[in-house]
Amino acid sequence: MASNASEYIKHHLTHWNSSTGFWSLHVDTFTVSLILGFVFVAVFATVARRARVENPGRLQLFVEMIFDMVDNQVKETFHGKSKVLAPMALTIFCWIFLMNAMDMLPVDFLPMIAQWIGHTAFGADPEHVFLRVVPSADVDATFAMSLSVLVCIIGFSITSKGLGGWGKELLTAPFHASGAVGTVILAPVNLLFQLVELVAKPISLSLRLFGNMYAGELIFILIALLPWQVQWILGAPWAIFHILIITLQAFVFMMLTIVYMSLAAENH
pLDDT digit string, tens, across residues 17-30: 988 877 889 999 99
- Predicted confidence band of residue 2 (pLDDT cuts 50, 70, 90): low
- The residue from 82, 148, 208, 262 that is catalytic is 208
pLDDT digit string, tens, across residues 166-214: 998 888 888 877 677 778 888 889 899 999 999 999 999 999 999 999 9
Q: Which residues contact 36 (CB under 8 A, 6 or more apart)?
A: 95, 98, 99, 102, 135
- The residue from 204, 206, 262, 267 that is catalytic is 204
pLDDT digit string, tens, across residues 52-78: 888 889 999 999 999 999 999 999 998
CA-to-CA dists, residue 174 to 8, 126, 164, angstroms = 51, 56, 17
- pLDDT for 240: 92
- The residue from 100, 157, 206, 212 that is catalytic is 212
- Can you name the residues that pair with 26 across neighbouring β-strands? 17
Return mean pLDDT, the chain: 91
- Can you name the residues that pair with 17 across neighbouring β-strands? 26
This prediction's pTM: 0.92
Average pLDDT over residues 258-263: 92
Long-range pairs of 138-143 with CB within 8 A, sequence gap ≥ 24? 138/15, 138/26, 138/29, 138/210, 139/206, 139/207, 139/210, 139/214, 140/26, 140/29, 141/26, 141/29, 141/33, 141/99, 142/205, 142/206, 142/207, 142/209, 142/210, 143/202, 143/206, 143/210
Q: Which residues contact 43 (CB under 8 A, 6 or more apart)?
A: 59, 63
Residue 253 has pLDDT above 60, yes or no: yes
- pLDDT for 268: 58
Residue 150 has pLDDT above 90, yes or no: yes
Q: Give yes or no: 212 in active site.
A: yes
